[in-house]
Structure 1
Amino acid sequence: MTNTTMSARLAIAGQIAAQAAELALGFFNRRDAIEVSSKRTQDFVSEADVAVEQFIRSQLAQHFPQDAVIGEEMGGVLTDAPCWVIDPIDGTSNFLRGSPLWGVSLGLVENKKPLIGIVALPVLNDLFAAESGKGIFLNGKPFRRDDRFEDVQIVSLGDSSDDKLDEASAFYQGLRAADWSVHCYRCTTVGMVFAAKGIIGGHLQRRTTLWDIAGGTVLCQEAGLDTVVKFARTADGIEDYRHMSVAAGTADLLSAVIPLWPGFEPK
Protein backbone atom coordinates (compact mmCIF):
# COMPACT_ATOMS: atom_id res chain seq x y z
CA MET A 1 0.00 0.00 0.00
CA THR A 2 1.30 3.45 -0.92
CA ASN A 3 1.71 5.86 1.98
CA THR A 4 -0.30 9.05 1.54
CA THR A 5 1.28 11.06 4.35
CA MET A 6 4.88 11.81 5.24
CA SER A 7 6.39 11.19 8.65
CA ALA A 8 6.94 14.33 10.70
CA ARG A 9 10.70 14.02 10.29
CA LEU A 10 10.47 13.71 6.50
CA ALA A 11 8.03 16.62 6.29
CA ILE A 12 10.32 18.93 8.27
CA ALA A 13 13.37 17.92 6.25
CA GLY A 14 11.39 18.49 3.07
CA GLN A 15 10.51 22.00 4.19
CA ILE A 16 14.16 22.72 4.90
CA ALA A 17 15.15 21.47 1.45
CA ALA A 18 12.40 23.54 -0.19
CA GLN A 19 13.61 26.70 1.52
CA ALA A 20 17.20 25.88 0.59
CA ALA A 21 16.14 25.34 -3.02
CA GLU A 22 14.51 28.78 -3.07
CA LEU A 23 17.70 30.32 -1.72
CA ALA A 24 19.80 28.49 -4.31
CA LEU A 25 17.48 29.55 -7.12
CA GLY A 26 17.93 33.18 -6.10
CA PHE A 27 21.68 32.79 -6.47
CA PHE A 28 21.19 30.99 -9.81
CA ASN A 29 19.18 33.89 -11.19
CA ARG A 30 21.98 36.33 -10.35
CA ARG A 31 24.93 33.98 -10.80
CA ASP A 32 26.90 36.49 -12.91
CA ALA A 33 27.44 38.46 -9.70
CA ILE A 34 28.49 35.68 -7.32
CA GLU A 35 32.01 34.71 -6.28
CA VAL A 36 33.44 31.46 -7.60
CA SER A 37 36.61 29.52 -6.77
CA SER A 38 38.06 26.21 -7.90
CA LYS A 39 38.87 23.30 -5.58
CA ARG A 40 40.73 21.51 -8.36
CA THR A 41 40.39 21.02 -12.12
CA GLN A 42 36.71 21.21 -13.18
CA ASP A 43 35.55 21.21 -9.53
CA PHE A 44 34.06 24.56 -8.58
CA VAL A 45 32.54 26.07 -5.47
CA SER A 46 30.55 29.28 -5.36
CA GLU A 47 29.33 31.50 -2.57
CA ALA A 48 25.94 29.95 -3.29
CA ASP A 49 27.20 26.50 -2.24
CA VAL A 50 28.48 27.87 1.06
CA ALA A 51 25.40 29.99 1.80
CA VAL A 52 22.98 27.13 1.09
CA GLU A 53 24.91 24.70 3.26
CA GLN A 54 25.06 27.22 6.10
CA PHE A 55 21.30 27.71 5.85
CA ILE A 56 20.56 23.97 5.91
CA ARG A 57 22.91 23.46 8.85
CA SER A 58 21.18 26.21 10.83
CA GLN A 59 17.76 24.67 10.19
CA LEU A 60 18.93 21.18 11.09
CA ALA A 61 20.42 22.50 14.33
CA GLN A 62 17.05 24.04 15.18
CA HIS A 63 14.87 21.02 14.35
CA PHE A 64 17.23 18.06 14.92
CA PRO A 65 19.87 19.32 17.38
CA GLN A 66 20.81 15.78 18.48
CA ASP A 67 21.87 14.68 14.97
CA ALA A 68 25.30 15.00 13.39
CA VAL A 69 25.83 16.78 10.06
CA ILE A 70 28.20 16.27 7.13
CA GLY A 71 28.33 18.75 4.26
CA GLU A 72 30.34 18.96 1.08
CA GLU A 73 31.70 22.41 1.90
CA MET A 74 32.13 22.21 5.69
CA GLY A 75 32.83 18.54 6.28
CA GLY A 76 31.91 16.48 9.30
CA VAL A 77 32.46 13.08 10.88
CA LEU A 78 30.48 9.97 9.93
CA THR A 79 29.65 7.50 12.70
CA ASP A 80 26.84 4.97 13.14
CA ALA A 81 24.66 7.61 14.80
CA PRO A 82 22.01 9.51 12.79
CA CYS A 83 23.73 12.00 10.50
CA TRP A 84 22.32 14.45 7.97
CA VAL A 85 24.33 14.68 4.76
CA ILE A 86 24.19 17.86 2.67
CA ASP A 87 25.12 18.61 -0.91
CA PRO A 88 24.06 22.26 -1.10
CA ILE A 89 24.38 22.50 -4.87
CA ASP A 90 25.18 19.31 -6.71
CA GLY A 91 26.17 20.13 -10.27
CA THR A 92 27.83 23.47 -9.57
CA SER A 93 29.37 23.50 -13.06
CA ASN A 94 25.90 23.15 -14.58
CA PHE A 95 24.58 25.79 -12.17
CA LEU A 96 27.25 28.27 -13.25
CA ARG A 97 26.69 27.64 -16.97
CA GLY A 98 22.93 28.21 -16.65
CA SER A 99 21.83 24.59 -17.09
CA PRO A 100 18.70 23.47 -15.19
CA LEU A 101 20.44 20.18 -14.31
CA TRP A 102 21.55 20.84 -10.73
CA GLY A 103 20.00 20.11 -7.38
CA VAL A 104 19.97 20.47 -3.61
CA SER A 105 20.37 17.14 -1.82
CA LEU A 106 19.71 16.24 1.81
CA GLY A 107 19.92 12.73 3.25
CA LEU A 108 19.74 11.10 6.65
CA VAL A 109 22.17 8.24 7.24
CA GLU A 110 22.20 5.89 10.23
CA ASN A 111 24.61 2.97 10.67
CA LYS A 112 26.01 4.19 7.34
CA LYS A 113 22.72 3.38 5.59
CA PRO A 114 20.62 6.11 3.94
CA LEU A 115 17.16 6.26 5.55
CA ILE A 116 15.76 9.56 4.26
CA GLY A 117 16.45 11.22 0.94
CA ILE A 118 15.30 14.60 -0.33
CA VAL A 119 16.32 16.15 -3.61
CA ALA A 120 15.13 19.48 -4.98
CA LEU A 121 15.63 20.40 -8.63
CA PRO A 122 14.78 24.10 -8.32
CA VAL A 123 14.71 25.09 -11.99
CA LEU A 124 12.50 22.09 -12.81
CA ASN A 125 10.27 22.83 -9.78
CA ASP A 126 10.57 19.26 -8.47
CA LEU A 127 11.01 18.29 -4.83
CA PHE A 128 11.39 14.55 -4.26
CA ALA A 129 11.26 13.13 -0.73
CA ALA A 130 11.48 9.50 0.37
CA GLU A 131 11.89 7.46 3.54
CA SER A 132 13.11 3.89 3.58
CA GLY A 133 10.17 1.51 3.31
CA LYS A 134 7.61 4.31 3.03
CA GLY A 135 7.63 5.33 -0.62
CA ILE A 136 8.32 8.53 -2.55
CA PHE A 137 6.63 11.91 -2.61
CA LEU A 138 6.90 14.43 -5.44
CA ASN A 139 5.97 17.98 -4.43
CA GLY A 140 4.12 16.56 -1.43
CA LYS A 141 2.08 13.92 -3.27
CA PRO A 142 2.71 10.14 -3.42
CA PHE A 143 4.74 9.21 -6.48
CA ARG A 144 5.28 6.00 -8.41
CA ARG A 145 8.09 5.45 -10.89
CA ASP A 146 7.09 5.44 -14.56
CA ASP A 147 8.17 2.02 -15.84
CA ARG A 148 6.80 2.30 -19.38
CA PHE A 149 9.15 1.86 -22.34
CA GLU A 150 11.87 0.09 -20.35
CA ASP A 151 13.03 -1.41 -23.65
CA VAL A 152 14.31 2.08 -24.52
CA GLN A 153 17.63 1.54 -22.79
CA ILE A 154 19.13 4.79 -21.45
CA VAL A 155 21.58 5.01 -18.57
CA SER A 156 23.23 7.92 -16.76
CA LEU A 157 26.96 7.54 -16.25
CA GLY A 158 28.67 9.63 -13.60
CA ASP A 159 32.17 10.90 -14.16
CA SER A 160 34.95 12.12 -11.91
CA SER A 161 38.27 13.86 -12.38
CA ASP A 162 39.71 10.86 -10.51
CA ASP A 163 38.60 8.45 -13.25
CA LYS A 164 41.28 6.60 -15.15
CA LEU A 165 40.39 7.45 -18.71
CA ASP A 166 41.18 4.05 -20.19
CA GLU A 167 38.94 2.33 -17.64
CA ALA A 168 36.18 4.91 -18.09
CA SER A 169 36.36 4.52 -21.85
CA ALA A 170 36.16 0.72 -21.63
CA PHE A 171 33.17 0.97 -19.29
CA TYR A 172 31.39 3.33 -21.70
CA GLN A 173 32.14 1.10 -24.67
CA GLY A 174 30.84 -1.93 -22.79
CA LEU A 175 27.54 -0.22 -22.05
CA ARG A 176 27.17 0.83 -25.66
CA ALA A 177 27.98 -2.70 -26.83
CA ALA A 178 25.18 -3.92 -24.54
CA ASP A 179 22.81 -1.55 -26.40
CA TRP A 180 22.57 1.09 -23.67
CA SER A 181 22.53 4.73 -24.73
CA VAL A 182 24.66 6.72 -22.29
CA HIS A 183 23.92 10.15 -20.86
CA CYS A 184 26.27 12.17 -18.66
CA TYR A 185 24.52 14.94 -16.73
CA ARG A 186 27.58 16.10 -14.75
CA CYS A 187 25.36 15.87 -11.66
CA THR A 188 24.95 12.67 -9.65
CA THR A 189 21.77 13.93 -8.04
CA VAL A 190 20.09 14.50 -11.38
CA GLY A 191 21.13 11.07 -12.65
CA MET A 192 19.67 9.35 -9.59
CA VAL A 193 16.46 11.41 -9.62
CA PHE A 194 15.92 10.73 -13.32
CA ALA A 195 16.42 7.01 -12.61
CA ALA A 196 13.92 7.12 -9.74
CA LYS A 197 11.48 9.07 -11.90
CA GLY A 198 11.70 6.56 -14.75
CA ILE A 199 13.25 8.88 -17.33
CA ILE A 200 16.25 6.54 -17.55
CA GLY A 201 17.01 2.95 -16.57
CA GLY A 202 19.54 3.83 -13.90
CA HIS A 203 22.61 5.74 -12.78
CA LEU A 204 26.13 4.29 -12.49
CA GLN A 205 29.07 6.00 -10.81
CA ARG A 206 32.25 4.22 -9.83
CA ARG A 207 33.74 7.20 -7.96
CA THR A 208 31.51 9.44 -5.91
CA THR A 209 30.99 10.78 -2.38
CA LEU A 210 28.37 10.32 0.32
CA TRP A 211 26.99 13.83 -0.11
CA ASP A 212 26.42 13.20 -3.82
CA ILE A 213 24.33 10.07 -3.24
CA ALA A 214 22.77 10.22 0.26
CA GLY A 215 19.57 11.83 -1.01
CA GLY A 216 19.25 9.99 -4.30
CA THR A 217 19.94 6.51 -2.93
CA VAL A 218 16.71 6.38 -0.93
CA LEU A 219 14.73 7.70 -3.89
CA CYS A 220 16.09 4.93 -6.13
CA GLN A 221 15.49 2.24 -3.52
CA GLU A 222 11.92 3.37 -2.93
CA ALA A 223 11.36 3.55 -6.69
CA GLY A 224 12.02 -0.19 -6.81
CA LEU A 225 15.44 -0.03 -8.43
CA ASP A 226 18.26 -2.37 -7.46
CA THR A 227 20.67 -0.13 -5.58
CA VAL A 228 24.23 -0.98 -4.58
CA VAL A 229 26.34 1.47 -2.54
CA LYS A 230 29.92 0.73 -1.50
CA PHE A 231 32.45 2.58 0.61
CA ALA A 232 36.12 2.49 -0.25
CA ARG A 233 38.42 1.85 2.71
CA THR A 234 41.40 3.83 3.92
CA ALA A 235 44.78 2.19 4.46
CA ASP A 236 43.79 1.39 8.06
CA GLY A 237 40.48 -0.18 7.00
CA ILE A 238 38.11 2.66 7.81
CA GLU A 239 35.17 3.21 5.45
CA ASP A 240 35.72 6.50 3.63
CA TYR A 241 32.60 8.51 2.78
CA ARG A 242 34.66 10.68 0.41
CA HIS A 243 35.36 7.68 -1.84
CA MET A 244 32.35 5.58 -2.74
CA SER A 245 30.57 3.94 -5.66
CA VAL A 246 26.90 3.61 -6.55
CA ALA A 247 24.85 1.62 -9.02
CA ALA A 248 21.09 2.10 -9.11
CA GLY A 249 18.99 0.69 -11.89
CA THR A 250 16.72 -1.94 -13.32
CA ALA A 251 17.64 -5.60 -13.10
CA ASP A 252 18.46 -5.60 -16.83
CA LEU A 253 20.89 -2.73 -16.42
CA LEU A 254 22.69 -4.20 -13.43
CA SER A 255 23.00 -7.53 -15.23
CA ALA A 256 24.73 -5.73 -18.09
CA VAL A 257 27.08 -4.03 -15.62
CA ILE A 258 28.41 -7.18 -13.93
CA PRO A 259 30.97 -8.14 -16.62
CA LEU A 260 32.08 -4.51 -17.05
CA TRP A 261 32.74 -3.58 -13.42
CA PRO A 262 35.33 -5.74 -11.60
CA GLY A 263 34.24 -6.38 -8.03
CA PHE A 264 30.71 -5.21 -8.60
CA GLU A 265 28.03 -7.34 -6.96
CA PRO A 266 24.33 -6.55 -7.39
CA LYS A 267 23.34 -7.95 -3.98
Structure 2
Amino acid sequence: MPTHADDLSVALRLADAADEITTARFLAADLVVDRKPDRTPVTDADTAVEDAIRAILASARPADAVLGEERGGSLGAGRTWIVDPIDGTKNFLRGGPAWATLIALVSAGSPVVGVVSAPALGRRWWASAGEGAFCSVGGADGRRLRVSGVRSLSDAYLSTTDLNTWGVAREQYLALVSACWESRAFGDFWHHCLVAEGVLDLAVEPAAYVWDLAAVQILVTEAGGTFTDLSGRPGFEHGSALASNGHVHEAALEILKG
Protein backbone atom coordinates (compact mmCIF):
# COMPACT_ATOMS: atom_id res chain seq x y z
CA MET A 1 0.00 0.00 0.00
CA PRO A 2 1.47 3.39 -0.96
CA THR A 3 2.25 5.82 1.87
CA HIS A 4 0.86 9.35 2.05
CA ALA A 5 4.33 10.57 1.05
CA ASP A 6 4.24 8.35 -2.05
CA ASP A 7 0.77 9.57 -2.95
CA LEU A 8 1.73 13.21 -2.41
CA SER A 9 4.66 12.70 -4.77
CA VAL A 10 2.25 11.41 -7.41
CA ALA A 11 -0.14 14.33 -6.80
CA LEU A 12 2.68 16.85 -7.24
CA ARG A 13 3.66 15.11 -10.47
CA LEU A 14 0.06 15.43 -11.65
CA ALA A 15 0.11 19.14 -10.80
CA ASP A 16 3.32 19.61 -12.81
CA ALA A 17 1.65 18.02 -15.84
CA ALA A 18 -1.43 20.18 -15.38
CA ASP A 19 0.61 23.37 -15.07
CA GLU A 20 2.42 22.63 -18.31
CA ILE A 21 -0.90 22.43 -20.16
CA THR A 22 -2.71 25.30 -18.46
CA THR A 23 0.13 27.81 -18.75
CA ALA A 24 0.48 27.03 -22.45
CA ARG A 25 -3.25 27.60 -23.05
CA PHE A 26 -3.71 30.62 -20.75
CA LEU A 27 -4.34 33.75 -22.85
CA ALA A 28 -4.23 31.65 -26.03
CA ALA A 29 -6.03 33.33 -28.93
CA ASP A 30 -7.40 29.99 -30.15
CA LEU A 31 -8.79 28.81 -26.79
CA VAL A 32 -11.92 26.74 -27.41
CA VAL A 33 -14.79 27.45 -25.01
CA ASP A 34 -18.02 25.45 -24.71
CA ARG A 35 -20.94 25.68 -22.28
CA LYS A 36 -21.99 22.71 -20.16
CA PRO A 37 -25.66 21.90 -19.36
CA ASP A 38 -25.40 23.83 -16.07
CA ARG A 39 -24.31 26.89 -18.12
CA THR A 40 -20.78 26.87 -16.70
CA PRO A 41 -17.95 27.20 -19.23
CA VAL A 42 -15.43 24.51 -20.14
CA THR A 43 -12.32 25.06 -22.25
CA ASP A 44 -10.11 22.73 -24.25
CA ALA A 45 -7.55 23.21 -21.48
CA ASP A 46 -9.94 21.76 -18.87
CA THR A 47 -10.43 18.54 -20.79
CA ALA A 48 -6.75 18.28 -21.80
CA VAL A 49 -5.66 18.56 -18.17
CA GLU A 50 -8.08 15.95 -16.92
CA ASP A 51 -7.15 13.56 -19.73
CA ALA A 52 -3.44 13.98 -18.94
CA ILE A 53 -4.01 13.38 -15.24
CA ARG A 54 -6.08 10.27 -15.92
CA ALA A 55 -3.37 8.91 -18.21
CA ILE A 56 -0.69 9.33 -15.54
CA LEU A 57 -2.89 7.76 -12.87
CA ALA A 58 -3.68 4.82 -15.14
CA SER A 59 0.02 4.01 -15.03
CA ALA A 60 1.01 5.19 -11.55
CA ARG A 61 -2.12 4.12 -9.62
CA PRO A 62 -4.04 1.67 -11.84
CA ALA A 63 -6.08 0.22 -8.97
CA ASP A 64 -7.43 3.62 -7.85
CA ALA A 65 -10.68 5.18 -9.04
CA VAL A 66 -10.81 8.67 -10.57
CA LEU A 67 -13.60 11.24 -10.30
CA GLY A 68 -13.18 14.35 -12.44
CA GLU A 69 -15.31 17.39 -13.18
CA GLU A 70 -15.16 16.92 -16.94
CA ARG A 71 -15.01 13.14 -17.46
CA GLY A 72 -17.11 11.95 -14.54
CA GLY A 73 -16.64 8.95 -12.29
CA SER A 74 -17.88 8.13 -8.82
CA LEU A 75 -16.66 8.39 -5.25
CA GLY A 76 -16.40 4.86 -3.90
CA ALA A 77 -15.46 3.40 -0.54
CA GLY A 78 -11.85 2.82 -1.57
CA ARG A 79 -9.16 5.11 -2.93
CA THR A 80 -10.43 7.78 -5.34
CA TRP A 81 -8.53 10.63 -6.96
CA ILE A 82 -10.75 13.71 -7.31
CA VAL A 83 -9.74 16.20 -9.99
CA ASP A 84 -10.87 19.70 -10.89
CA PRO A 85 -8.68 20.42 -13.93
CA ILE A 86 -9.27 24.18 -13.77
CA ASP A 87 -11.09 25.66 -10.80
CA GLY A 88 -11.91 29.24 -11.74
CA THR A 89 -12.50 28.58 -15.44
CA LYS A 90 -14.32 31.90 -15.82
CA ASN A 91 -11.18 33.68 -14.63
CA PHE A 92 -9.04 31.51 -16.92
CA LEU A 93 -10.99 32.31 -20.06
CA ARG A 94 -11.20 36.04 -19.25
CA GLY A 95 -7.45 36.32 -18.61
CA GLY A 96 -7.61 36.60 -14.82
CA PRO A 97 -4.81 34.79 -12.95
CA ALA A 98 -6.95 33.33 -10.12
CA TRP A 99 -7.42 29.76 -11.34
CA ALA A 100 -5.91 26.46 -10.25
CA THR A 101 -5.83 22.71 -10.72
CA LEU A 102 -7.21 20.85 -7.70
CA ILE A 103 -6.13 17.29 -6.98
CA ALA A 104 -7.17 15.20 -3.99
CA LEU A 105 -6.83 11.59 -2.97
CA VAL A 106 -9.73 10.35 -0.86
CA SER A 107 -9.44 7.09 1.07
CA ALA A 108 -12.33 5.61 3.05
CA GLY A 109 -14.27 8.83 2.53
CA SER A 110 -11.63 11.26 3.81
CA PRO A 111 -9.07 13.32 1.88
CA VAL A 112 -5.55 12.12 2.67
CA VAL A 113 -3.66 14.17 0.07
CA GLY A 114 -4.47 17.50 -1.52
CA VAL A 115 -2.67 19.74 -4.02
CA VAL A 116 -3.80 23.12 -5.34
CA SER A 117 -1.61 24.53 -8.11
CA ALA A 118 -2.12 28.08 -9.37
CA PRO A 119 0.73 28.77 -11.79
CA ALA A 120 -0.50 32.17 -12.95
CA LEU A 121 -0.39 33.29 -9.30
CA GLY A 122 3.00 31.63 -8.86
CA ARG A 123 1.66 29.56 -5.95
CA ARG A 124 1.18 25.92 -5.06
CA TRP A 125 -0.39 24.57 -1.88
CA TRP A 126 -0.30 20.96 -0.65
CA ALA A 127 -1.14 18.84 2.37
CA SER A 128 -1.21 15.22 3.47
CA ALA A 129 -2.89 13.61 6.44
CA GLY A 130 -0.95 14.13 9.64
CA GLU A 131 1.91 15.93 7.89
CA GLY A 132 0.68 19.53 7.77
CA ALA A 133 -0.10 22.02 5.00
CA PHE A 134 2.41 23.98 2.95
CA CYS A 135 2.64 26.71 0.32
CA SER A 136 5.35 27.47 -2.21
CA VAL A 137 5.62 30.89 -3.87
CA GLY A 138 7.51 31.24 -7.12
CA GLY A 139 8.89 27.73 -6.89
CA ALA A 140 10.63 28.34 -3.56
CA ASP A 141 10.70 25.78 -0.77
CA GLY A 142 7.33 25.32 0.89
CA ARG A 143 6.52 27.08 4.13
CA ARG A 144 4.28 25.43 6.69
CA LEU A 145 0.83 26.99 7.01
CA ARG A 146 -1.17 27.85 10.09
CA VAL A 147 -4.63 29.40 10.36
CA SER A 148 -5.10 32.72 12.11
CA GLY A 149 -5.66 33.20 15.81
CA VAL A 150 -8.61 35.59 15.39
CA ARG A 151 -11.27 34.67 17.95
CA SER A 152 -14.10 37.15 17.34
CA LEU A 153 -16.27 37.64 14.26
CA SER A 154 -15.95 41.37 14.76
CA ASP A 155 -12.25 41.00 13.95
CA ALA A 156 -12.65 38.45 11.16
CA TYR A 157 -12.01 38.65 7.44
CA LEU A 158 -14.65 36.81 5.37
CA SER A 159 -14.82 35.77 1.70
CA THR A 160 -17.31 34.16 -0.65
CA THR A 161 -17.30 33.55 -4.41
CA ASP A 162 -20.42 35.27 -5.79
CA LEU A 163 -23.24 36.92 -3.87
CA ASN A 164 -25.72 35.78 -6.54
CA THR A 165 -25.15 32.12 -5.59
CA TRP A 166 -26.72 32.68 -2.18
CA GLY A 167 -30.31 32.80 -3.44
CA VAL A 168 -32.83 32.65 -0.58
CA ALA A 169 -29.99 32.55 1.97
CA ARG A 170 -28.63 35.93 0.86
CA GLU A 171 -29.88 37.66 4.02
CA GLN A 172 -28.04 35.18 6.24
CA TYR A 173 -24.81 35.79 4.34
CA LEU A 174 -25.25 39.56 4.54
CA ALA A 175 -25.85 39.19 8.29
CA LEU A 176 -22.52 37.37 8.52
CA VAL A 177 -20.87 40.15 6.51
CA SER A 178 -22.25 42.68 8.99
CA ALA A 179 -20.90 40.65 11.91
CA CYS A 180 -17.38 40.51 10.46
CA TRP A 181 -14.75 43.21 10.23
CA GLU A 182 -14.18 43.00 6.46
CA SER A 183 -15.55 40.99 3.54
CA ARG A 184 -13.95 40.04 0.25
CA ALA A 185 -14.75 37.84 -2.76
CA PHE A 186 -11.52 36.05 -3.58
CA GLY A 187 -13.67 33.05 -4.43
CA ASP A 188 -13.22 29.49 -5.66
CA PHE A 189 -10.12 27.68 -4.37
CA TRP A 190 -8.22 30.81 -3.41
CA HIS A 191 -10.13 31.93 -0.36
CA HIS A 192 -9.89 28.46 1.20
CA CYS A 193 -6.13 28.56 0.65
CA LEU A 194 -6.01 32.00 2.25
CA VAL A 195 -7.82 30.61 5.31
CA ALA A 196 -5.12 27.95 5.55
CA GLU A 197 -2.47 30.69 5.26
CA GLY A 198 -4.07 32.74 8.03
CA VAL A 199 -4.80 35.64 5.67
CA LEU A 200 -8.58 35.14 5.91
CA ASP A 201 -10.57 33.76 8.82
CA LEU A 202 -13.67 32.50 6.98
CA ALA A 203 -14.45 31.27 3.46
CA VAL A 204 -18.04 30.38 2.61
CA GLU A 205 -19.52 28.50 -0.37
CA PRO A 206 -23.31 28.05 -0.55
CA ALA A 207 -23.03 25.68 -3.52
CA ALA A 208 -20.04 23.57 -4.53
CA TYR A 209 -19.11 20.14 -5.88
CA VAL A 210 -16.82 17.51 -4.40
CA TRP A 211 -14.05 18.40 -6.87
CA ASP A 212 -14.21 22.01 -5.65
CA LEU A 213 -13.74 21.06 -2.01
CA ALA A 214 -11.81 17.82 -1.41
CA ALA A 215 -8.32 19.27 -1.93
CA VAL A 216 -8.98 22.46 0.03
CA GLN A 217 -10.58 20.57 2.92
CA ILE A 218 -7.36 18.78 3.83
CA LEU A 219 -5.37 21.96 3.25
CA VAL A 220 -7.51 23.87 5.78
CA THR A 221 -7.70 21.10 8.37
CA GLU A 222 -3.98 20.29 8.21
CA ALA A 223 -3.32 24.01 8.79
CA GLY A 224 -5.35 23.75 12.00
CA GLY A 225 -8.69 24.99 10.70
CA THR A 226 -12.23 23.62 10.56
CA PHE A 227 -14.14 22.57 7.43
CA THR A 228 -17.87 21.77 7.36
CA ASP A 229 -20.93 22.38 5.25
CA LEU A 230 -23.26 25.25 6.12
CA SER A 231 -25.21 23.09 8.56
CA GLY A 232 -22.07 22.09 10.44
CA ARG A 233 -21.49 18.60 9.01
CA PRO A 234 -17.78 17.85 8.51
CA GLY A 235 -16.66 16.93 5.03
CA PHE A 236 -16.46 17.98 1.40
CA GLU A 237 -19.37 16.00 0.00
CA HIS A 238 -22.43 17.92 1.21
CA GLY A 239 -22.71 20.61 -1.49
CA SER A 240 -21.62 23.64 0.53
CA ALA A 241 -18.64 24.68 2.62
CA LEU A 242 -17.56 26.80 5.55
CA ALA A 243 -13.80 26.91 6.06
CA SER A 244 -12.49 28.76 9.07
CA ASN A 245 -9.68 29.12 11.56
CA GLY A 246 -11.84 27.11 13.97
CA HIS A 247 -12.18 29.86 16.57
CA VAL A 248 -15.01 31.69 14.77
CA HIS A 249 -16.64 28.66 13.17
CA GLU A 250 -19.57 28.11 15.50
CA ALA A 251 -20.42 31.81 15.63
CA ALA A 252 -20.50 31.93 11.83
CA LEU A 253 -22.63 28.79 11.62
CA GLU A 254 -25.16 30.23 14.04
CA ILE A 255 -25.68 33.24 11.77
CA LEU A 256 -25.78 31.21 8.55
CA LYS A 257 -28.39 28.86 9.99
CA GLY A 258 -30.60 31.89 10.57
TM-score normalised to structure 2 length: 0.86
User: Where does residue 70 of structure 2 map in the other structure?
Assistant: 73
With over 3 angstroms needed to count, the CA separation of the structure-2 counterparts of 1:199 and 1:42, relative to structure 1, is farther
Alignment pair present for 1:246 and 2:241: yes
Alignment pair present for 1:156 and 2:167: no
Distance in structure 2 (CA, Å) of the matches to 1:73 and 1:185: 24
Distance in structure 2 (CA, Å) of the matches to 1:216 and 1:34: 28
Q: Which amino acid aligns with 1:116?
A: V
Is contact 2:228-2:236 (8 Å) kept?
Answer: no
Distance in structure 1 (CA, Å) of the matches to 2:245 and 2:80: 28
Alignment pair present for 1:207 and 2:204: no
Q: Which amino acid aligns with 2:69?
A: E
State the SS of the aligned residue for 2:71.
coil
| Structure 2 residue corresponding to 1:117, chosen from 107, 114, 117 | 114
Is contact 2:198-2:245 (8 Å) kept?
Answer: no
Q: How does 1:1-267 map to 2 (within 5 A)?
A: 7-30=5-28, 32-40=29-37, 43-139=40-136, 140-145=141-146, 147=148, 152-159=155-162, 163=165, 165-167=167-169, 169-187=170-188, 189-229=189-229, 241=237, 244-262=239-257
The structure where strand makes up a greater share of residues is: 1
State the SS of the aligned residue for 1:256.
helix
User: 1:208-266 CA deviation, whole Å, 9 max, x = no partner?
Assistant: 110001111110001101112589xxxxxxx995x612211023431332222339xxx
TM-aligned CA deviation for residue 34 of structure 1: 1.0
Distance in structure 1 (CA, Å) of the matches to 2:253 and 2:65: 35
Distance in structure 2 (CA, Å) of the matches to 1:240 and 1:132: 15
User: 1:64-118 CA deviation, whole Å, 9 max, x = no partner?
Assistant: 1110000000000111110000000000001111111111000011222111110
Q: Which amino acid aligns with 1:256?
A: A
> How many equivalent residue pairs?
246
Is contact 1:135-1:142 (8 Å) kept?
Answer: no
Structure 2: which 5+ residue stretches go unaligned? none
Is contact 2:156-2:202 (8 Å) kept?
Answer: no
With over 3 angstroms needed to count, the CA separation of the structure-2 counterparts of 1:17 and 1:79, relative to structure 1, is same
With over 3 angstroms needed to count, the CA separation of the structure-2 counterparts of 1:186 and 1:44, relative to structure 1, is farther
Is contact 1:160-1:207 (8 Å) kept?
Answer: no
State the SS of the aligned residue for 1:203.
strand
RMSD of aligned C-alpha atoms? Answer: 2.6
TM-aligned CA deviation for residue 119 of structure 1: 0.3
Distance in structure 2 (CA, Å) of the matches to 1:164 and 1:201: 20
Q: Which amino acid aligns with 1:157?
A: T
With over 3 angstroms needed to count, the CA separation of the structure-2 counterparts of 1:148 and 1:251, relative to structure 1, is closer
State the SS of the aligned residue for 1:208.
coil
Higher alpha-carbon deviation: 76-85 or 13-22: 13-22
TM-score normalised to structure 1 length: 0.83
